[in-house]
Structure 1
Amino acid sequence: MCKKKTWLIMKLTCILVVVFNLNVCAVAFSQSKISLDLKNATIEEFIAAMKEQTGTQFLYNSSLMQVHELITVNVMDEELKEVLDQVLLPLKLTYEFINDVVVIKRLSQVVPDNKWVLKGKVTDHKGSPLPGVTIRLKGTTIGVSSNIEGLFSLEVKKAVDTLVVSFIGMKTQLVPVNKEKNDYVIKLEEEVLAMDEVVVVSTGYQDIDKRRLTSAITTLKMDDIKVAGLSSVDKMLEGHVPGMIFMQNSGQAGAAPKVRIRGTSTVLGNQEPLWVVDGIVQSDPVNVDPSQLNDLDFVNLLGNAISGLNPDDIEQIDVLKDAAATAIYGVRAANGVIVITTKKGKVGAPSITYSLSGTVNIRPYYSDQGIYLMNSQERVDVSREMFNRGMEFKNITNWIGYEAAYLDYKSGITDFNTFNNLANYYETVNTDWFDILCENSFSNKHTLSVSGGSANLRYYASVGYNDEKGVIKKELNRNYTTSIKLNGNYDRVSFQFGLQGNSNKRKYTPSTNGINIISYAYETSRAIPAYNPDGSKYFYMKGNTAINSYLFNMENEMETTRQEMNSATFTLNANVKYKILQELSAEGTFAYTVGNTNQETVYEEGSYYIAGEKKGGAGDASSTCPIGGELQESTTRLRSYTARLQLNYNSLFADKHALNVVLGGEVSSKEYNGVSTKHRGYYPDRGKTFGTITEELLAQPEYKGYRGWLAANSRATITDQLTNLASAYFTITYTYDNRYTINFNTRMDGSNQFGSRSNEKLLPIWSVSGRWDIARDFFRDNANVNELSLKLSYGKQGNMLDNQTSRMIIAKGALNSWYQEFSSTISHYPNPDLRWEKTSSYNAELSFSLLKNKIGGTVSYYYKHTDDAFLTKKVSDINGVTSYVVNKGEISNQGVEVTLKFVPIDRKVDASGKQGFVWRFDPQIGQVVNKLISKAIDNRSNTLRDEVSYTDYLSGNVELVNKPLNTFFSYRFKGLSSEDGSPIFYGTEEEFKDELHERYRNMEEEEVWMEVLKESGTRVPVLQGGISNYLGYRQFGLSFNLAYSLGNKIRLLKLCGDNNIRPYPEKNMRREFVKRWQRPGDETKTNIPSLVASDNVRLPWWSQNEYNSTNPNKFAGSDIYQMYDMSDLRVVSGDYLKLQSLSFRYNVHDVFCKKMGIKSAYISVTGTNLFTIANKKLKGQDVTQSGASPSVNLSVRPNYSLTLNVTF
């Protein structure tokens, strides 16, 4: 009994404390001081002014704004309540303070007449209470508003049988009245906003009312795209932004995707978009060379500018695409801008939210469609045929498996029975390399946040932990995050202070001598065992020659080598705004970022890499690592700041005119300091110590190799890069009657990175744009046309490379032991005449919303043209460098973007007052047609680079006139030889070799290549998009997103990993080789070439001395089987349709939440990358895996997540 009383007292105390706090908040809120001077203003303008001055949230139904009376008010330091009374009561409007939210409503006129009391609760679709909802008796003006807990009580007339439930931003519901029912739970769904509702779009410099937006911006709410199982926000954008090309070339933990917005506007510069968080431009943790980032085969495991940002802390994402949107960012925005707005506190009592997600990541299996490899029996059959045909292995050093058993038998070391038993063993061993090297992993993510505050001070704080385990063993990406944001409003001053921090730890197994774990699993024969019969690891000799061969075991490599990256980044930002006049304000922004990234790569003494360096060990004069292992360390320190001063003028006058002017200046600085070292003699298992060799021993002849290594690596490599930028910007927007809007933006940048000619010109970046609200002009009274508007824009943008300056950059080296003088080399040649890369951008966009917002969307067309594109030019090495950057090319990008929104079935309310069924789907499409053109071609070829090879054509790394960037070429497959099954290609036929040689001898190299090769397409998709779907019924919701990509081509993976049709004993082959040519006549049944008996068949005729002596580089290809892998026969479409995410969610019922003492909760199950529909010729090869890559990357893996979210 005592315990019950104690518990009752505790509950009452908690209730009293909460009620007291709510009352205190409401009283303090209503007593906020207001200074306001408006003349002949509309009710909307009055609310906007109040919101601007106090930061207060106003809730109202849009129909209440149709008041024709104009407002004139002049008050100084009056309480909020007094101002509202003075303005609203004459308009027959009233208001209510619900916590710190002002709810405006009509004056109720309740007339009692045979009535009863009806009670209920109103929530959103997640089950969270909605305060301020209007519940009205249909056909009357009688109504009430829900309180802070969403509860309401209403006296119902006997003659009324329907309730009208409405709330701004929500769909109005009609709820049947049942006298016997008194516990209504009404759930409102969000509505596609009409043109009169205020939607704010952020450019990072200012927030813009969507009704006055003149530029091309795609706005996404984080809650709409967030997917459990994806660790970073950039991966969640796939299929949601028309005009954005998304490419994920690796499924490793922490691998960053490649993102392109409206094509590629530069060849040599960074092609990635600019990331902005809360108005501050973000920097990558490590300064990676743009040539690497632009390489489609480069796997970025270092992370990008937003890798450490917790998606749970994000409120909104705005993707700026045209010049009108990006011009204000100057030279940094040539590739588009992605603006992220993080969450801030909401007015009210503290709200605590905890989110937990557990994710299972699925490893590759040989049974997967994407792994079309031979099993051990099929691979042994290939080896058996090779021996039967007397085929030789050239320079073989690793006789293992079936081949070793066969040679032992033929040389008399073993008898036939022993050989036969071993052959049967190797045929059935079927080593599962993916099971040995990979695993199904479990990742977990936690976020705890708290939000609350008053009208004067609001706060948001969160901590997050994400432990992402990769499917490759020992691979992880662990991230700790924190975010703190304070927003305040006091009289004329408003401010925002924020702190964001993250600490990241990544672990990988480094590639050893080009040996990648996934490549090894794909390319290693399953007839090779991983373990000996006693369970110990199976080692075999691996190397190019007998001298350079060493024992190897991949599992041992994973234990004796590792790569760790530890980084920490913290950003402090502050924004203070002071209202000078009602229309004029000044604001200052300052942000400071400090980051540190440490990379550590360890090769222990027992690793394959060290075996190659150690050779014979101590006493071997050629050994460069006589003792211990190797430690490679690299540290990058980032320091950056941004300081901005800005004046804002915002005026409403003469009832229909709005003018917004922004004038500002900004300085920013970004500095990278890097140090990298190499140490040998490292013993990590002995307390991370180093072995030493005395000076006396080091002077001995047997340490000659190590002395040479020390001379080259004894000193650290130090790299510094400083980028300073000073800018001035101006933007002006004029709106007439919310129908016509004109905008002009301009910015001028000066930087220490620009060439002197560019700084002298200070070329302004500018844009002009406009918006016409057609619906207000022609369809004002048409209820079926909710929005119809047209936007047009044009602008000029510029770009400059970071590593090109007007002065020579010299790398000062160490003391030269031979000359006893310090040596220096030219790092970058002076380039004072380099001009800006200039891009002209055109955009046209039509937006519409019809049939009470059941159908809506946008259709856009854009065209971008870049002049003076940066390209490299070969120069004489007498200059100290072999290449030079010049303004030589032009690039064009154009396309169409379509975004549609449909609500075929709207959520209804059944007789019990419960929610019914809803279906929404949003298809979208974005096209990018890219072309490189040039103003001056000075040779008979059409390349824009002076020095290329045929391999550049095969890989798509050559810039060609009137061709898209990343266009690649292939050999033209003609068929198989009827004599030996070897492949034949047009323009290289053996039977025409004399004629072809005579024909090609007078041609330029690239002319010959154009005769032999054929254009296959581009590696970058031309069109991408997605289809988002949501189906809901009562507490249940099902959503899924389909992503599709069209227009690019990919190569099939190589038949054999080492480009050799006679695979070495340890190599596996693609299963399609089972259907190879084996006898004359097979050439009519298959296009898979045969095994060949000698090197003479593999080598093309032009490699023979009589032809090779003229110009060995002129002819494309040195091996006909390598040519086969690079032929048009092995090129297929990269088009795909992928189920990017599928999520099922259950919102816990309010009654249960109330019993549990929580505000709301939901549980969801999510799957990502569940299946992909692609070209059947891929034989299941994942579309992210390119046969052009030097190694096979891990495909994007499916995963399954369970999420629990609770709010207290």
Structure 2
Amino acid sequence: MKRKFLLLVMCLLTFHLSFAQSTITVQGRVTDAETGQPLIGAGVVVQGTTTGAQTDADGNYTLSAPSDGTLTFNYLGYKATSVPINNRTSINVQMETDAATLQEVVVTGYGVQEKRDVTGSIASVKSEELVRQASQNPVSSLQGKVAGVTITNSGAPGASPQIRIRGAGSALGSTDPLYVVDGTFVNDLSFLNPADIESIEILKDASSAAIYGVRAANGVVLVTTKRGKAGESTVNYNGFVGVQRVTNQLDMTNAQEYATLVNEKLRIENPTANLIPTNLPSTDWYDQVLRTATIHNHQVSASGGSEKVTYMASAGYLNQEGIVKGDEYRRITARLQTDFQVSENIKVGYNGIFYDYQSDNIPSDIFYQAFVAPPIIPVFEPNGRYGDPANYPVGNFANPQASLDWFNQKSNGQRLTANAFGEVSFLDGFTFRTSLGLNYGIDEYRNYRSQDSLTSVQYASRSLLTQQRSKSNMWLWENTLTYDKTFGDHDLTVLLGTSAQEDKSNFFRGSVNDVEFNSEADLYLDLGDPETALIDAGGARGTFVSYFGRVNYSFLDRYLLTATLRYDASSNYPRNDRWEYFPSIGLGWRVSEENFMQNQAIFDNLKIRASWGRLGNNNIPANIYRLPVDRDPRLAAIYNGVLFPGANLREVVPATLFWEIVEEVDLGVEMGFLNNRLTVEADWYNKQTKDAIFGLTPLGFLGLGGQIRGNFADFRNRGLELIANWSDDLSTDFSYNIGVNFSRNRNEVTSIATENAAFYNGNLPVGGYQVSITRVGDPIGSFFGYEVDGIFQNEQEVEGSAQPNAVPGDFRFRDRDGNGIIDERDKTIIGNPNPGFTYGINTGFRFKSFDLQLDIQGVADVDIYNGNRNVRFGNENYDKDFYDNRWTGPGSTNSYPSAKLTGRNLDPSDYYVESGSYVRIRNLQLGYNLPSGVVNTLKMRNLRVYVNAQNPVTWFKYNGFSPEVSGAPISQGIDRNVYPLSATYNFGVNATF
């Protein structure tokens, strides 16, 4: 009886427990407690399990849970909320903001800080801003979003943009910033898919960048990739497909207009010359070589994990055609990241990114060929052969279509960027971290020129195969010890670290004639004529050792101090001059936290900060301190019938060589108004480069070519940056934000070792002209030439001028020294390629499930040297603007010359200098989040579709394809037919499962 009774009790208990733990479906909505706005992507987890869900675009969620369980709601910037289910099937939650977590956190290099505690100038761009642009390179997405950062894009598929932070601080060294991806140093970000990035921080001033010492003179770009988080697994897809179209295509003359111009030129040069017929068919060479190109990019990621292990894996594919026929770039990226919480105090992890690219290349001068090719040359002759300039009285020009068809070059490469770390917390506030980074890359290209005869200037009697393979290998080992402690009103963080790095690279290049092309697999150097084989190889190695430390101190949460010291050594410098100290200090005062500010209603936040720092630039020309020897055969001598090779020094280098040093002062203020809906940040900086590597021309009697290079110059960049952001929620259905940034920079050479010395560069292939100069008092790489004082209208004006060899229709140059002779002494600064102003306007709007983003970007007070117009050997084509405005006789114009663009008309002058200012709609995107009902039916968490237009409109006056012209500091802004940007129109999808 007792046994039956116990059995009955157990059955009843089991039934009760089963009933009590029955599973039900719970749904509801999560909103902001203050505004009622839905919280998108809030996490909902059944307490004590990993079962959970995320809210959709309307804040709704649905999940299965025990009827007597508890739901925990989490959202960044809000207090975690736990709610018992109590057998309810509908639970709506209003979450309250958490002031402690709302503070923006920025990466500062070997650590993170709340934005309010930062004493330097750091800009941060988060992932949501990056993915809202359909860019193939993350750096392109930054254009117009960060004050003080100038980005120049190229339209070539796979190309990396040029980025300069607060101006050019070196003449012969690199001006590229240091890129750091998850603690590993890299040369660029072309291997990264923007969807993999969590945030990008740009360390602009010396105080914030000094922790990187010798590498940070040009600023630092810190990239943090996304990491897995504990919870239910999440799968994301981000992808778009679209087309790229040519914008601002330069109008060139047609056959009739071209013939008119050439005939005018011939009449001036020789009145009896044979003229070109004006009724020939016309070819638009730009239309012939350009196309509407396609682009598509896809990325899939999966993330999740538990409290012990978290992971994120992603794979991406990009296929981008260039706007030139035959140009194509393909990229595959793969990423795997895992963190292991081994114990309460020990954490280890790794992050690996693999990248593979393949590219079908085009001739590097194809835009130049299309610009100069006469329109009277047909693409094909009636007999099917390529149109040959030899059949027309115009000169030796390449047929651009023949160049594209004949050119056979492919490139490919792989890169592995990886980082592994271990972290141990011990005692009270101590953390030790060690990390090992690797950056390994291989790049190859193969060029095959077949034996062929396409035109009179495009032929080869023998085939030529050229192959090159280069390899780079970098490892970086860093160790840091951090102490983080709060003592009452004192917050203290101390960081100590060491860094060791080795960079190695090598290449092998070979060429040989007479390799027969049967297939791609048959192209080997050993299949050609061995007597024609040419082999070249080389390599380089650099090592770095560093010790660094940083102290962050805060008192009463209002008085802030950051002090940094780094001790660096680099093998780029002579053995006795390899070590240097790089200190910095930053001070901040959060005025709004003072007692006397508590009763005022103007400032929600007011912080004043000042910093000073010293940085180095190790990116100088390799082995510059070694004496280069020229073994030219012309230096050989024969004595008694015996040949004795000769040699001469090409350059002279001082016995000592020092670091390029950058010292910078930054003064800043940060303000918040109207409940921080309006935030304003302003910075003034003075950035000085001291002991810059510079070249001086040696005295002629020394018998030396080239230059003497050493620490001979000082430069300065001084400027102002202003950032203002406004964001507001007008209702639960409508919110918007508007951001404006503006920067002004003035670049100047402040001293050169030798009085009145200057560095000339910017060579053009006609006459050996050098169109840029770097000298004291002017910006680096300023344009240098004659001032045009009008056009000679008749012979009488010529006879009374300082240019007796001119003819009517030629430029009249200004005789600046008044000596009656136009010579080098009359040249002056005629333009500045360093941008004076950059600005951006970034807006975002949300109405219910729709969102709209509009970004505008621009540059002002900058010049371009139109080398396209300036490079003329004979009968090159003319642009339509020149045709419409040229001099055709007395009184016709006093600005444009005649069609005789030869002789001194090609001397560097301000006629070829044009404004590079522009305003561009950088990005326009309209998105829509599908309703939760549709998303749930598709068994998804969120689904957003969008249409996007990138670079659809650019307003500028420059007579060229694009006003974005990059280049080295001493030769920047010279347009020799750059690869222009195109307008891209996309349709994209963001989906979460």
Q: TM-score range by the shorter chain?
A: 0.7 to 0.9
Q: 1:87 maps to what in 2? A: none
After TM superposition, give the deviation of residue 508 of structure 1 in Å.
Answer: 1.5
Equivalent residues of 2:752, 2:776 under 8 A apart: no
Q: 1:1122 maps to what in 2? A: 906
Q: How does 1:38-49 map to 2 (within 5 A)?
A: none
2:778 counterpart of 1:960: no
- Of 859, 881, 906, the residue aligned with 2:682 is 859
After TM superposition, give the deviation of residue 1014 of structure 1 in Å.
Answer: 3.5
Q: 2:185 maps to what in 1? A: 281
After TM superposition, give the deviation of residue 386 of structure 1 in Å.
Answer: 5.6
Q: Deviations over 1:952-978 (max 9, x none)?
A: 997653211011112113422222222
Q: 1:899 maps to what in 2? A: 723
Q: How does 1:297-312 map to 2 (within 5 A)?
A: 305-312=188-195
CA-atom RMSD, angstroms? 4.4
Q: 1:735 maps to what in 2? A: 554
Amino acid at match of 1:153: I
Equivalent residues of 1:245, 1:261 under 8 A apart: yes
Equivalent residues of 2:184, 2:417 under 8 A apart: no
After TM superposition, give the deviation of residue 582 of structure 1 in Å.
Answer: 2.5
- Of 302, 312, 329, the residue aligned with 2:212 is 329
**1:766/1:864 CA distance change after superposition, 3 Å:** same
Equivalent residues of 1:121, 1:151 under 8 A apart: no
Q: 2:172 maps to what in 1? A: 268
Give the match's secondary structure for 1:683: coil
Amino acid at match of 2:94: V
Rounded Cα–Cα distance in structure 2 between residues aligned with 1:315 and 1:906: 25
2:850 counterpart of 1:971: no
Q: 2:566 maps to what in 1? A: 747
Amino acid at match of 1:470: G
**1:640/1:610 CA distance change after superposition, 3 Å:** farther
**1:831/1:1054 CA distance change after superposition, 3 Å:** closer
Q: 2:13 maps to what in 1? A: none
Rounded Cα–Cα distance in structure 2 between residues aligned with 1:354 and 1:656: 47
The alignment's TM-score, normalised by the length of structure 2, stands at 0.84
Amino acid at match of 1:268: L
Q: 2:663 maps to what in 1? A: 840
**1:1164/1:949 CA distance change after superposition, 3 Å:** closer
Q: 2:7 maps to what in 1? A: none
Equivalent residues of 2:243, 2:295 under 8 A apart: yes
After TM superposition, give the deviation of residue 132 of structure 1 in Å.
Answer: 5.3
Amino acid at match of 1:858: E
Rounded Cα–Cα distance in structure 2 between residues aligned with 1:668 and 1:22: 57
2:271 counterpart of 1:380: no
Equivalent residues of 2:696, 2:758 under 8 A apart: no
After TM superposition, give the deviation of residue 519 of structure 1 in Å.
Answer: 1.9
- Of 474, 492, 507, the residue aligned with 1:640 is 474
**1:218/1:683 CA distance change after superposition, 3 Å:** same
Rounded Cα–Cα distance in structure 2 between residues aligned with 1:838 and 1:151: 67
Amino acid at match of 1:898: L
- Of 701, 710, 723, the residue aligned with 2:542 is 723
Rounded Cα–Cα distance in structure 2 between residues aligned with 1:783 and 1:231: 45
Equivalent residues of 2:764, 2:871 under 8 A apart: no
2:969 counterpart of 1:1184: no
Q: 1:482 maps to what in 2? A: 334
After TM superposition, give the deviation of residue 717 of structure 1 in Å.
Answer: 1.4
Amino acid at match of 2:166: R
After TM superposition, give the deviation of residue 681 of structure 1 in Å.
Answer: 1.3
Give the match's secondary structure for 1:959: strand
Q: 1:794 maps to what in 2? A: 612
Equivalent residues of 2:200, 2:222 under 8 A apart: yes
Equivalent residues of 1:746, 1:764 under 8 A apart: yes
Q: 1:455 maps to what in 2? A: 307
2:331 counterpart of 1:467: no
Equivalent residues of 2:772, 2:784 under 8 A apart: no
Please, which moves more after superposition, 591-600 or 1039-1048?
591-600
Amino acid at match of 2:162: K
Rounded Cα–Cα distance in structure 1 between residues aligned with 2:387 and 2:815: 54
Q: Deviations over 1:646-696 (max 9, x none)?
A: 11111112x22111111111100000111111211122246436798989x
Rounded Cα–Cα distance in structure 1 between residues aligned with 2:544 and 2:398: 51
2:376 counterpart of 1:527: yes
Equivalent residues of 1:630, 1:681 under 8 A apart: yes
Give the match's secondary structure for 2:554: strand
Amino acid at match of 1:1073: Y
Equivalent residues of 1:631, 1:680 under 8 A apart: yes
After TM superposition, give the deviation of residue 212 of structure 1 in Å.
Answer: 2.1
Equivalent residues of 1:975, 1:985 under 8 A apart: no
Q: How does 1:199-238 map to 2 (within 5 A)?
A: 199-238=104-143
Q: 1:885 maps to what in 2? A: 709
**1:737/1:123 CA distance change after superposition, 3 Å:** farther
Q: 2:936 maps to what in 1? A: 1154
After TM superposition, give the deviation of residue 1185 of structure 1 in Å.
Answer: 5.8
Give the match's secondary structure for 2:772: coil
After TM superposition, give the deviation of residue 630 of structure 1 in Å.
Answer: 1.1
**1:668/1:609 CA distance change after superposition, 3 Å:** farther
Q: 1:1077 maps to what in 2? A: 887
Q: 1:558 maps to what in 2? A: 404
- Of 228, 236, 239, the residue aligned with 2:144 is 239
Rounded Cα–Cα distance in structure 2 between residues aligned with 1:333 and 1:575: 23
Equivalent residues of 1:755, 1:805 under 8 A apart: no
After TM superposition, give the deviation of residue 828 of structure 1 in Å.
Answer: 8.0
**1:716/1:383 CA distance change after superposition, 3 Å:** closer
**1:1032/1:128 CA distance change after superposition, 3 Å:** farther
After TM superposition, give the deviation of residue 329 of structure 1 in Å.
Answer: 0.8
* 5+ residue gaps, structure 2: 1-17, 26-30, 36-43, 64-70, 967-971
Q: 2:984 maps to what in 1? A: 1199
Q: 1:435 maps to what in 2? A: 287
Q: Deviations over 1:521-553 (max 9, x none)?
A: 22223332212336553333399999xx6x953
Q: Deviations over 1:896-916 (max 9, x none)?
A: 11111112x52413xxxxx2x
2:491 counterpart of 1:658: yes
After TM superposition, give the deviation of residue 1158 of structure 1 in Å.
Answer: 0.4
Q: How does 1:1170-1181 map to 2 (within 5 A)?
A: 1170-1175=952-957, 1178=958
Higher strand share: 2
- Of 323, 330, 346, the residue aligned with 1:493 is 346
Q: 1:342 maps to what in 2? A: 225
The number of equivalent residue pairs is 929
Q: 1:257 maps to what in 2? A: 161
Amino acid at match of 2:608: L
**1:631/1:245 CA distance change after superposition, 3 Å:** same
Rounded Cα–Cα distance in structure 2 between residues aligned with 1:102 and 1:724: 50
Higher helix share: 1
Q: Deviations over 1:991-1010 (max 9, x none)?
A: 999xx99998999x9x9534
After TM superposition, give the deviation of residue 22 of structure 1 in Å.
Answer: 14
Q: 1:315 maps to what in 2? A: 198
Give the match's secondary structure for 2:208: helix
Rounded Cα–Cα distance in structure 1 between residues aligned with 2:172 and 2:867: 28
Q: 2:91 maps to what in 1? A: 153
After TM superposition, give the deviation of residue 641 of structure 1 in Å.
Answer: 0.3
Amino acid at match of 1:479: R
Q: 1:1049 maps to what in 2? A: 863
Give the match's secondary structure for 1:153: coil
Amino acid at match of 2:418: L
After TM superposition, give the deviation of residue 126 of structure 1 in Å.
Answer: 9.1
Q: Which is higher, the Rg of structure 1 or of structure 2?
A: 1
Equivalent residues of 2:201, 2:221 under 8 A apart: yes
Q: 1:507 maps to what in 2? A: 360
2:803 counterpart of 1:1021: no
Rounded Cα–Cα distance in structure 1 between residues aligned with 2:561 and 2:847: 44
Identity between Structure 1 and Structure 2 (%): 21
**1:386/1:790 CA distance change after superposition, 3 Å:** closer
Q: Deviations over 1:495-516 (max 9, x none)?
A: 22111110011222224xxxx2
Q: Deviations over 1:183-236 (max 9, x none)?
A: xxxxxxxxxxx6862322113311222232211100110221335442101111
**1:277/1:1054 CA distance change after superposition, 3 Å:** closer
Equivalent residues of 1:449, 1:463 under 8 A apart: yes
Give the match's secondary structure for 1:541: helix
Q: 1:680 maps to what in 2? A: 513
Rounded Cα–Cα distance in structure 2 between residues aligned with 1:899 and 1:1156: 42
Amino acid at match of 1:254: G
**1:991/1:676 CA distance change after superposition, 3 Å:** closer
